[in-house]
Amino acid sequence: MSQKEAPRAGLIQAVLAGRATNREAAASLRLSVRQFRRLRARYRVAGVEGLLHGNRGRPSPRRQPEEMAKRITDLMKEKYAGFNDQHLTEKLRAVEGITVSRERVRRLRLAAGLPATRKRRAPKHRRRRERAPREGALVLIDGSEHDWLEGRGPSFTLLGAIDDATGRVLALVVRTHEDLHGYVQLLDALLHTQGMPLALYGDRFGALVRNDDHWSLEEQLAGRQDPTQFGRILEELGIRYIPARSPQAKGRIERAWGTLQDRLVSEMRLLGLRTVAEVVRHLPQLLAEHNARFAQPAHEVERAWRRPPRGYERTLTCRYIRKVARDNTVSVPGRWIQLPARGRGRSWHGAAVEIREGLDGTAYVLRAGQLITTQPWTDGPFTLVGRSSSSRALHKRCDSPTPRPQSRPAPPPPPPLWQGARQRGHKPRPNHPWKQPYRSQPPSPVAAAGRT
């Protein structure tokens, strides 16, 4: 008996005992007097069971047939294994033509004895950060190392960028691990498809920000540490970088990774993807479907995206300061570049030039902002890494994903002579000047004669 039907028996007994009228009891149950008389007649014949609804215990005439429920359960176990309830509901409606509710899918999953794909935990109290008002005002970047192909192919890391105002995934880059090349490639995809945002929000990964306490002499005089290679790129483009101090601070992209690790993995399994090339080819389609489902409009219609400068390929580079050798060449580890002659056949020997390496390996040599020469990369696949450079131009420990071997420390200086003599047990004579007080020494005859 439901909570609505429970008071009926007591009111009917009160009416039969003469303590209340039919009108008063009907008003208490919010029924008409005619309907209350019907309930009273059924109570006299069948007792309390006569007050229950007649359809209780009967199957609904709108229920789905058992064949449909068995088909959904089979799809849940085989074709769509590992899909969460909401994702499976959408796939059943869009692909299989079966329209069911998410709750119906959940009940069928529980009846089949299948566990939930994600364990639900009690939420913790945190203060919500308001979204950016305009699209392009704040872009969140991060990397996620996950078994995206579930063992069917090689493991890789996805670097992604989402817009804070809309929650739309702007770009995804496939890399073997989280590195400088991947983030520069992600920034290049943003500039090519969207434009320049006002600010980037990410973690304190070593390729993005400096995490060391080392200050060179030039940095102390300047009053700030030199940024990383990625930081130099952002400074030249006029993009602010905000480092997060905890995963919760950039919770929106963390939750986006949780959704992608759930739905994107299932979509890749459904498409049968096994190689990185296939993943890269299908990523635009998968991103379009994801954004159509989860993106939301921004609070303000006006966008904050800015047009990137012309020739920004030279900006998305690693920079090194080098001194030109006598044979008019400059070098960085792994390559050397021959410089053409200056005007009137003069030499570049001794001049300080800047070398820039781009994403495709092309090297640009500049002097005072003017391009001197370029050199393409011809030795196979190229990975942009922070190479060693002069101390006033770069800090090599910030951009290299693996620590470089440290040089052998210099030997300690030899101890002073007086320390060695004291260690050998040498003692000065009692009449040694070091043993005499300064003012108690009598003046020498030469000095006394000079004073007279």
Q: Check residue 1 and give its pLDDT.
A: 65
CA distance 426 to 418: 9
Position 183, amino acid: Y
Q: Assess contact for 33 and 11: CB atoms under 8 A.
A: no
**Quick one: angle between helices 66-77 and 102-111, nearest 10?**
80
CA dist 219 → 222, 224, 287, 355, 392 (Å)? 5, 6, 43, 21, 8
Q: Assess contact for 89 and 101: CB atoms under 8 A.
A: yes
Cβ-Cβ contacts under 8 Å for 395 (sequence gap 6 or more) = 210, 212, 214, 216, 225, 226, 228
CA dist 97 → 72, 89, 272 (Å)? 11, 10, 22
pLDDT above 90 (res 174) = yes
In this prediction the pTM is 0.67
CA distance 84 to 369: 55
Mean residue pLDDT of the chain comes to 85
Q: What is the pLDDT of residues 214-265, one digit of tens each?
A: 898 988 998 999 999 999 999 999 999 999 988 888 889 999 999 999 999 9
Q: H or E segment at 77?
A: helix 66-77
CATH code at 139-294: 3.30.420.10
Q: Determine the number of helices (DSSP H) and then strands (DSSP E) in the chain.
A: 13, 11
Half-sphere exposure of 148 (CA within 13 A, CB side): 27
Average pLDDT over residues 301-308: 95
Q: What is the pLDDT of residues 408-426, one digit of tens each?
A: 455 566 555 545 444 555 6
Q: Assess contact for 346 and 354: CB atoms under 8 A.
A: no
CA 33 vs. chain centroid, Å, equals: 66
pLDDT above 50 (res 284) = yes
Binning the chain into helix, strand and coil, the percentages to the nearest 5 are: 40, 15, 50
Average pLDDT over residues 348-377: 94
Percentage with pLDDT > 70 across the chain: 88
